[in-house]
Each structure stands twice: as C-alpha cells, then as structure tokens.
Amino acid sequence: MWSRVIEIMLGCWLVISPFIFAHPDTELTWWISDMLCGTAVILFGLLSYWRPARRAHLATIGVAVWLIAYAYLRSSEATGAAIQNAAIQNNMALGLLLMMFAIIPNDASKPPEPWRVPTGDTTRSGSSPQEPDDLPQSGTDRQLAASHH
Amino acid sequence: MTVSAPISSDSTADSHAATDLDAIPEPFDYNPSSWSQRIPICVIAMVGFLIATYMGLFQWKLIDSAWDPVFGGQTEAVLTSDVSHWMHKWFLIPDATFGAIAYLGDAIFGLAGSTRRWQYRPWLVVIFGIDVIPLGIVSAVLVAMQGLVVGSWCFLCLVTAVISLVLVVMAYDEVWACLKYLKRVWDETHDRKLLWDVFWGRRTAEGEAIGARFATPATT
C-alpha cells in the first residue's frame, strides 16, 4: 500500500497548493481545481484500503489526466511569462506523478490475488482467515470477504 | 507461500512452478524479476532522479548555480538554452524536472510487483520497459544532441545519459522474458482474448499451463 500512502500525501500537497503558490483571489478556478483534485486523490487513496473499493485508486488516473489537461488548457490561453506560472507547473508535475503512482496495485509486492492460491486449490486451505488479501478473487469469495470484513 | 498438494499428479512439476515465485523464465538461467535484479535498478534510477532534480531546481531558479567540475559554466548554458526553453513549453515543466519524474517512474515501476511479475503482471513490466528503454534511449540521444546543437556540454547531463543507458542494459532482460512469454501464449493459442487476459495478469488455465512450461523451478 506504499503507493496509496504517497498518493494521499500528494493529495495533501494539492489541497495546500493554492496557499503555497499564493493563487490570486481572482483565480477562483485554480483554487477549486487544486483543492477538489487534492480532496479526490486523498479520498480515492483512503477508499482503496476498504476492500469493496480496493480499486478506487484507479480513479486517481482520471484526476491526473484532468490535472495535465487543465495545465495545457491554461498554458495555451496564456503566453510568455505565464508559462512559468507555478500553478501550471504544479498541476503538470502532480499529474505525471499521480498517474505513475495510481496504476500501482495495492500490496504490489505480492502476486495478484487470483495467483496467491496454488494450482487447483479452490478451498482456501492454505491461507489464514485473518488475511482477506489471501483470498482468491472469484466473485463469491469477494462477497464473502466483503461480508466478513 | 507453501505449496499444497496438486490435484492432478501428472502436473506436479507444473503446479510447483506455477506457484514458485522464484521460477526462472526463458531464456535466462536466473530470474530477471528477482529483487536482486530489480533493487539495483531502482537505486541507480534514484541517483538519476536526484541529479535530474538538482538540475531542475536550477532551471526553476530555486538555486543560483549549477555545479560542473569539467565544463564550468557550460552546464548553466545548456540548462538555460533555447532548446531547454522549447522543451519547457512542450512539457510545461523544466526538461530536467520531466527527466527526474521519468527516473522516479523507473524506480516506482521497478519496485512494484512480485518476483514473478513477468507472468503475473505483464502490463507492469511493459510499462516499466517503456519508461526505461525507449524513454531512456531518447533522453540519452537528446543529451548528446543538446551538446552538439547548443554547443555546450553539461557534465551532469552526461552522467544522467550514462545512467539511462546503464538502466536499459539492466532492465532489458525482464522485459524480454515478459514479451517472450506473451509471444509464447500467442504462438500456442492465437487467442486474442487469452492474450489480453494474460497481459493484464488474469489467471487462466491456458496461461498458467504455458507459464509453467515457460519457467523452470528455482534451483535454490
């Protein structure tokens, strides 16, 4: 889950970005975009810890695409010095970073869930009941896991 | 993970290999997805990340000068050249910062995945490969061209170019094993749906059987 932790930290950075880079009060869309995106990233990161929503971190890819698209949108309407605009660069850098972290699965060091049981073992005999991550990923098992936790 | 008794006796070796995370894929005599293969890649990529970040800080004007023991002021000439300004316009961030993010990506994609990710997460190995190999070669060529086009040389840029090429050499084996496995699945089945499932690391009977034959159990 290291990737989720980093996403949540990057989300916090996005939320406080308007203050760090001192967005002017007239740039209300920058304020809203940065804070909403940051909040969404934190939310998706936290939701990923909840087993039924464990793929919520993939939604962060959408936020990252928006951050990058918005950076290009705002840079095309401005010229010259505005390219240096900290808000644009912040969105671009955070978009790229979040895109990379968001595709990393939970428990990335382990095999994907369906591969964690030996060949032909459908009974879950080898896995401990305390660890829902060791359950196979078939539909019924997922519901079982969701209801147990 | 311990392996429980397989259901069919004739597939003892196969099922063992299928659950053995340290299995050795073709055509190698070691596992290119093992931690001892991947951690050094991540460490070297992080060195590239730190060097590129340093140059990015100069381009962001957060530090006043850029260190260069060989070419003196030429590093600052490169980092403030027209070429770098164009790239800043394309990427919206300084080119060194963009490079730093790419090196960080090498490390992230190098760290993620089990020691059998060449079979369990081919998509991740392919993304890792794209980040390290084509991007690494392009960036090394760009650094060389920057020296020729701008007419100045930048010592740290050259160091990062060497790092990029070293990473290509260190990373190709895992990508090669992964692509070879995907090609084997395609050659044996010509089943697009199966290839798609295998690419995304879904567990299928055919993919598992082919993977078991593709790998040999770890000797240690």
Residues of chain B with Cβ-Cβ distance to A125 below 8 Å are 4
Contact A17, A90 (CB under 8 A): yes
pTM to 2 decimal places: 0.82
Nearest to B89 among A3, A83, A116 (CB): A83
Q: Encode pLDDT of B141-194 as tens digits.
A: 988 887 788 888 889 999 999 999 999 999 999 999 999 999 999 999 898 999
What lies within 8 Å, CB to CB, of B16 at 6+ separation is: B3, B6, B217
Q: Does B199 contact chain A (CB < 8 Å)?
A: no
What lies within 8 Å, CB to CB, of B91 at 6+ separation is: A92, B97, B98
**Interatomic CA distance for residues B92 and A85, integer angstroms:** 9
**Interatomic CA distance for residues B193 and A57, integer angstroms:** 26
Per-residue pLDDT of chain A (149 residues; tens, 9 = 90+): 899 999 999 999 999 999 988 888 888 888 999 999 999 999 999 999 998 998 999 999 999 999 999 998 888 776 554 445 888 899 999 999 999 999 999 988 888 888 887 765 544 444 444 444 444 444 444 444 444 44
C-alpha distance from B23 to closest chain A C-alpha (Å):
13
Nearest to B114 among A3, A111, A121 (CB): A111
**Interatomic CA distance for residues A82 and B37, integer angstroms:** 44
**Interatomic CA distance for residues A48 and B67, integer angstroms:** 43
Tell me the CA distances in angstroms from B96 to B49, B50, B54, B60, one per residue in order. 9, 10, 8, 10
Look at residues B99, B108, B104 and name the one whose alpha carbon lies nearest to residue B38.
B108
The answer on pLDDT for B41 being more than 80 is: yes
**Interatomic CA distance for residues A60 and A56, integer angstroms:** 8
Nearest to A93 among B97, B201, B203 (CB): B97
Strand runs (DSSP E) across chain B, as ranges? 24-25, 215-216
Cross-strand pairs, B24: B216
Contact B132, B168 (CB under 8 A): yes
Look at residues B7, B182, B32, B205 and name the one whose alpha carbon lies nearest to residue B113.
B32
Q: Does A55 contact chain B (CB < 8 Å)?
A: no
ipTM: 0.84
Q: Does A103 contact chain B (CB < 8 Å)?
A: yes
C-alpha distance from A65 to closest chain B C-alpha (Å):
14
